Chains A and B, each alone.
Chain A
Amino acid sequence: MVRASSLDLQTGMEEPGPSDSGLSPDPVIALVGNPNTGKTTLFNALTGLNQHTGNWPGKTVSLAQGSLRYRGKRFGVVDLPGTYSLLANSPEEEVARDYLCFGSPNATVVVTDATCLERNLNLVLQVMEITPKVIVAVNLIDEAQRKGISIETGRLAEELGLPVVPISARLRRGLPLLLDRVDDLISGRLTTSPRCVRYDPQIEEAIRRIQEELPDLGEISLNPRWLALRLLEGEVALLEKLRARLGNNLVTLCSKAN
């Protein structure tokens, strides 16, 4: 029973990003993370909405939207389906990736599971390739403590070049700090300097050359390095979507390619 408005998977995206809806200029926070890391719990805690949470992976297939008020400002919140990667192998991954690319949220919170951080970091590393406006929430910190796991969040923030906030969405711990960081990031008081993955020299060289040839994408603000990576992979579905959005600009993109 999805209560909040949900978007249809099949018909593609109608993202509520600020670029589309002239009526609601509220900045948008996207929640993304591996399945069953407590995104929906965090979403409920933040928005006061009562999405049904379940202790199983794959509960959220569509986007749920809500809003919250903090420091007297309104923010939109979008709960993305849980996904292990952004390689678009499954509908969930595609929905999450397309939203991050084309929905241009003002801040993205990657919700990670402190009890299995390593696997969750794979997603963080992929998200920060798309957008630098990322905050890492290390959730389930209470559960990790019970299991004798401790996370050096300061060191983690250093390694990633992103703000890291330990939270427990279930016990509502750490949420004000998380919202402080989000607000700082959106208002520009905080900037990130993500330390993205460096690939092997051959690939880095290819990325550099593709980037040089990339045309101006107009109002679509895709990270050129990320786009170069996808082009290198030859990802057809994404190219189709780009064509749908670029329209005339595509001609330039094509002519430059030849």
Chain B
Amino acid sequence: MPEVGRLGLNHQENIGLSQENEIRDRLVSSIYRRAAGIASLVVKQEREKGVDWDRRLDDVLTSPWTGYPAMLILLGIVFWVTSLGANYPSRLLAGALFWLQNELLSVFIASGSPEWLYGFLILGVYRSLAWVVSVMLPPMAIFFPLFTLLEDLGYLPRVAFNLDHFFKCAGTHGKQALTMSMGFGCNAAGVVACRIIDSPRARLIATLTNNFVPCNGRFPLLITLSTLFAGAMGAPATIIGLILLGVTVTLAVSWLLSRTLLRGVPSSFTLELPPYRRPDIGRILVRSFLDRTVFVLMRAVSVAAPAGGLTWVLANLETAGNSLIGHSALWLDPLGRQLGLDGFILLAFILGLPANEIVLPILLMSYTAAGSMLEVDSLSTLRQLLISHGWTWVTATSMLLFSLLHFPCATTLWTIRKETGSWRWTILAALIPTAVAVVVTLSFAQLVRLF
């Protein structure tokens, strides 16, 4: 708008300034001088009381030598406590919920209701809900408060600080370290957080790669499977390995994108490291339970109930001597086998598109509904169920890898559509991770086969 602008420009010339930056610099330095002047009058710093703990902590937590090991140890403790602590309440919950299932079943049978009715309601809807609650609730109820604790302490920006260097090398914005950390909570939230990145190029890279860190919805699957197949001691190492892989893939794909589709140079930014704060334990418990645990659980429950019913129907509608689920799984099986999985697992990932939380429940539903009516009431019988379907550590690892790297859930895709305003980027956001997941699991399965 040159006309109005001229009003200002005329006067810039009048005072002998042609550069707008020069004016701004003079304004800003006046403001800073005044702020410093006032602060020197009103702020009194008494003699430093004791040790500066913030600085001492930062010397360790953000040093190039000890920063990374400290990060791994802290994460390790979080996952170790989670997988160790989740086992027992999980068994109790499963025991109670499946006892109730049998009671409900006998009530239905005694009242003479038709098989399809109690099959759909109890073996479909109720059983998948029981799975979601008993498998997901305990690890979430332990993991989320611990994670919120780290956030409240002020540790997450330190993680971003430690990782900044890598993101710069990958040719993207350092703030991506922050949006990636948000992705650990929820990828949809991580995608929204990408707004803090100014450069449209770097924002797109962060949006397209956010999915490579496991979100709340996927952590229960990761924790459960690694506890089953690596034990309480091996699980933390497994999960940390997966997270490191996720971060590596994030960086690799970001690097690739910044060299191909989204070329450009990284811009700089200021990251303020907040002071460490004494966390408010009561508030953490309440907030992490209400905001995260209940939120994720309710989302899972609301998707799992219809999905459970649908899975039961698919598993019990027979054509040509096999159920619909059997047909689909059989059809997907060759591809699944190549990836170290099977048809049922691949089907569960596809049916789980609405929410990652229900992938494992759907898988268990289709395993149990399609024949083996094994009573599953604890984690160890869960392990037997999987093994009876031909699972080995290779299957478990492949599923973990696929879960970590595959397409984002429908909510995240919808958020990406809204944020980017383009179907093209949304489709790429689904295709890129899927391609990566297929390549990685395929290579893993083929490598194992070689040895």
Residues of A within 8 A of B20 (CB): 233-235
| Bound Cα distance from A107 to B14, whole angstroms | 37
Q: Is B23 an interface residue (CB 8 A)?
A: yes
Contact across chains for A239 and B43 when beta carbons are under 8 A apart = no
Partner of B43 from A151, A199, A235, A236 at Cβ < 8 Å: A151
Q: Is A25 an interface residue (CB 8 A)?
A: no
Q: Is B47 an interface residue (CB 8 A)?
A: yes
Within 8 A of A (CB), among B1-53: 1, 3-12, 14-16, 20, 23-24, 26-28, 30-32, 34-36, 38-39, 41-49
| Bound Cα distance from A236 to B24, whole angstroms | 14
| Bound Cα distance from A169 to B353, whole angstroms | 41
Partner of A122 from B16, B32, B198, B291 at Cβ < 8 Å: B32
Contact across chains for A56 and B24 when beta carbons are under 8 A apart = no
Contact across chains for A90 and B277 when beta carbons are under 8 A apart = no
Residues of A within 8 A of B154 (CB): 55-56
Give the interface segment out of A16-24, A97-105, A112-120. A112-120
Contact across chains for B38 and A160 when beta carbons are under 8 A apart = yes
The interface on chain A, measured as residues whose beta carbon lies within 8 A of the other chain's beta carbons, has a size of 72
Within 8 A of A (CB), among B272-295: 272, 274-275, 277, 280, 287, 290-291, 295
Residues of B within 8 A of A254 (CB): 3-4
| Bound Cα distance from A239 to B9, whole angstroms | 13
A11 to chain B, nearest CB (A): 10
Contact across chains for A159 and B31 when beta carbons are under 8 A apart = no
Contact across chains for A36 and B39 when beta carbons are under 8 A apart = no
A218 to chain B, nearest CB (A): 15
Contact across chains for A56 and B274 when beta carbons are under 8 A apart = yes
Partner of B5 from A36, A50, A56, A239 at Cβ < 8 Å: A239
Partner of A57 from B26, B27, B271 at Cβ < 8 Å: B271
Residues of B within 8 A of A52 (CB): 287, 291
Q: Is B310 an interface residue (CB 8 A)?
A: no
Contact across chains for B151 and A199 when beta carbons are under 8 A apart = no
Which of A55, A209, A257 has its CB near the most chain B CB atoms (within 10 A)? A55
Q: Is A229 an interface residue (CB 8 A)?
A: yes
Contact across chains for A150 and B44 when beta carbons are under 8 A apart = yes
| Bound Cα distance from A52 to B30, whole angstroms | 37
The interface on chain B, measured as residues whose beta carbon lies within 8 A of the other chain's beta carbons, has a size of 65
A55-B43 in contact given A61-B193, A203-B23 (Cβ < 8 Å): no
Residues of A within 8 A of B421 (CB): 10
Per-residue CB proximity of B395-425 to A under 8 Å, as 1/0?
0000000000000000000000000010000
Q: Is B262 an interface residue (CB 8 A)?
A: no
Q: Is B189 an interface residue (CB 8 A)?
A: yes
Contact across chains for A243 and B26 when beta carbons are under 8 A apart = no
Q: Is B95 an interface residue (CB 8 A)?
A: no
Beyond the given A58-B178, A121-B39, A234-B8, please list 9 additional residue pairs across the A-B interface where CB-CB is below 8 A. Answer: A1-B186, A50-B287, A56-B157, A151-B42, A210-B11, A231-B7, A231-B8, A235-B20, A242-B4
Q: Which residues of B contact A (CB under 8 A)?
A: 1, 3-12, 14-16, 20, 23-24, 26-28, 30-32, 34-36, 38-39, 41-49, 151-154, 156-157, 160, 175, 178, 185-186, 189, 192-193, 195-196, 198, 271-272, 274-275, 277, 280, 287, 290-291, 295, 421
Q: 10 shortest A-B CB distances, which residue pairs?
A: A231-B8, A118-B39, A121-B35, A257-B7, A148-B46, A254-B3, A55-B154, A206-B11, A156-B42, A152-B42
16 contacts between A and B (CB under 8 A): A50-B287, A52-B287, A56-B154, A56-B157, A117-B39, A119-B35, A121-B35, A146-B49, A149-B46, A153-B42, A203-B23, A232-B23, A236-B5, A243-B4, A257-B3, A257-B10
